[in-house]
Amino acid sequence: MSVDITLINKLLAAQNIMVLTGAGISKESGLSTFRDSDGYWSQYDPTKLASLDGFLADPLLVWKWYYERKQKAIAANPNAGHLSLVEMERLFKNFHLFTQNVDNLHRRAGSVNLYELHGNIFHSHCLNCGIKYNDDFVITDKVPICDICGGMIRPSVVWFGEQLPSDILKVAFEYANKCDVFFTIGTSSEVYPAAQLPFIAKDKGAFIIEINPNPTSFSPTADLSIRNPASEALTEIIHLYKQVRGI
């Protein structure tokens, strides 16, 4: 593994650490990624399942897919990758975790400084009046309907063609501009604006570590690429960091 003292020295000197995660960090919890050869988008059409037009065309199909994903996320447990990021939050003063994942596993692991760029699969809201629901809908043959206005309820996730929550995106750009160490973990770096964040950090002089068993379009820009699963790489980084600090 390419965890060495250079990275540990960067961590020791860092004032602000930023992390961006993607579906790869939850793969070892048994959840599917999107663009791997066995990922969702190799089997399903994202325009049908992850866009407003797809939802309007067939809301029950979309709800059934999200319902199935929720059941899988509930059955899954955070893995050593998620737990390592919780430990990093304890070890470093200014540590901020941004995720593209909607599976709630970072929160269940115990991360607090957590920002969900693409929403959360366990939240929903009315398409018509916007009222929020903490949903426990069981989806069988009906789309959930708003108690207040009778509109269709939709999952509170960001679909293709939709804006990311502006408050969260603002904070993400702010931290990308000021962090000195940036980890991009388990993401193909294909979806913007999230994929822009490590480029911004790099432009501002941050040290960028990519953790991904496979190369991505971001790899040539990374200062260090660790080609291991997230759980192994993060466990190793924490181990070495604690060893150097004698804690």
For this structure, is 239 an active site residue? no
Instruction: Give me the phi and psi of 176, to 5 degrees please.
Output: -60, -35
Cβ neighbours for 141, distance < 8 A, ≥ 6 positions apart: 60
Taking the least distance from each CB to ligand OAD, the nearer of 68 and 147 is 68
CA–CA separation, 198 and 20 (whole Å): 8
Instruction: Out of 159, 183, 218, 241, name the contact with ligand OAD by CB under 6 A.
Output: 159
Residue whose CB is nearest to ligand OAD in the complex, by number: 24
Instruction: Out of 29, 124, 156, 188, name the contact with ligand OAD by CB under 6 A.
Output: 188
Taking the least distance from each CB to ligand OAD, the nearer of 143 and 229 is 229
The bridge status of strand 114-116 relative to strand 181-185 is: unpaired
Considering only CA atoms, which of 74, 72, 97, 94 is closest in space to residue 84? Answer: 97
In angstroms, what is the minimal distance from the CB of 81 to ligand OAD? 7
CB atoms near residue 86 (< 10 Å): 18
Instruction: Out of 29, 104, 111, 212, name the contact with ligand OAD by CB under 6 A.
Output: 212
The pair of three-digit structure tokens given for residue 25, joined into one six-digit string:
């960090």
Question: Is the Cβ–Cβ distance between 8 and 240 less than 8 Å?
Answer: yes
| Range 177-201 burial, b when 16+ CB lie within 10 A, else e | eebbbbbbbbbbbebeebbebbbbb
Contacts to ligand OAD from residues 98-157, by CB under 6 A: 100, 118
Question: Is the Cβ–Cβ distance between 212 and 227 less than 8 Å?
Answer: yes
In angstroms, what is the minimal distance from the CB of 149 to ligand OAD? 26
Contacts to ligand OAD from residues 86-105, by CB under 6 A: 100
Taking the least distance from each CB to ligand OAD, the nearer of 32 and 94 is 32
Taking the least distance from each CB to ligand OAD, the nearer of 123 and 178 is 123
Instruction: Out of 11, 19, 22, 88, name the contact with ligand OAD by CB under 6 A.
Output: 22
In angstroms, what is the minimal distance from the CB of 247 to ligand OAD? 26
Instruction: Out of 124, 156, 216, 225, name the contact with ligand OAD by CB under 6 A.
Output: 216
Q: Is the bond into 198 cis (omega within 30 degrees of 0)?
A: no
Cβ neighbours for 231, distance < 8 A, ≥ 6 positions apart: 28, 79, 80, 81, 84
Instruction: Out of 133, 137, 213, 219, name the contact with ligand OAD by CB under 6 A.
Output: 213
Catalytic residue among 118, 123, 125, 239: 118
The residues with which 181 forms a beta bridge, in sequence order, are 17, 207
Instruction: Out of 39, 59, 144, 151, name the contact with ligand OAD by CB under 6 A.
Output: 39
Which residues are tagged catalytic? Answer: 118
The residues that touch ligand OAD, with contacts defined as CB under 6 A, are 22-25, 27-28, 33-36, 39, 46, 50, 100, 118, 158-160, 186-188, 190-191, 211-214, 216, 229-230
